[in-house]
Amino acid sequence: MSSKHKNIFLVGPMGAGKSSVGKYLAAQLNMDFFDTDEEIEKRTGVDIGWIFDVEGEMGFRKREEAVVSELANLSNIILATGGGTIMSPEVRSVLGSKGVVIYLEVSLRYQGSRTINDSRRPLLRVHNRQEVLEKLQDERESLYEEIADFRVLTDKRNVRTVADEIIHWLDAQ
């Protein structure tokens, strides 16, 4: 892997497998793993839902931007970002300049089934979950595509298969 690829940033919608794939990749590549949501919770001492309730999405996004900017300056890391992290132009710039960006794609069908019982996602604490997922996809998909150095579809695939495809691509760079 070249020096440009000293860091690996995983982007994509919720339910794409960024955290699971990131942890597995980190173990395989002997890199440190970070998850933006976990880092925010660790630093604030409260869960993401509480931050959304008290500070709103904008307050959460400011915290997220600060965490991404800080972590991206480390070396030899894999960072699983939140689904909306790429909404910030500053974050997109930081990720694009500090490592390789891999877009984990997931169809709306699989995203819906992977997140159906997950109560930890503030944007899905609604009755019209599928409509919300569709709206988020419409808003974000072009940004994922714009920033990605590589794309991997995660539908019907396990963590190891997805990670192996990423490793194979990295080795070819």
Tokens 């990670």 identify what position?
163
Check residue 14 and give its pLDDT. 86
Check residue 108 and give its pLDDT. 78
Mean residue pLDDT of the chain comes to 88
Quick: pLDDT tens for 68-115.
999 999 999 999 999 899 999 999 999 999 999 999 999 877 766 666
Check whether 31 has a pLDDT greater than 80.
yes
Q: Please write down the long-range contacts of 131-140, taking CB distance under 8 Å and 24 or more positions apart.
A: 133/13, 133/108, 134/108, 136/13, 136/83, 136/84, 137/13, 137/108, 139/87, 140/13, 140/83, 140/84, 140/86, 140/87
- The encoded tokens of residue 15 equal 């339910």
Check residue 94 and give its pLDDT. 95
Check whether 129 has a pLDDT greater than 80.
no
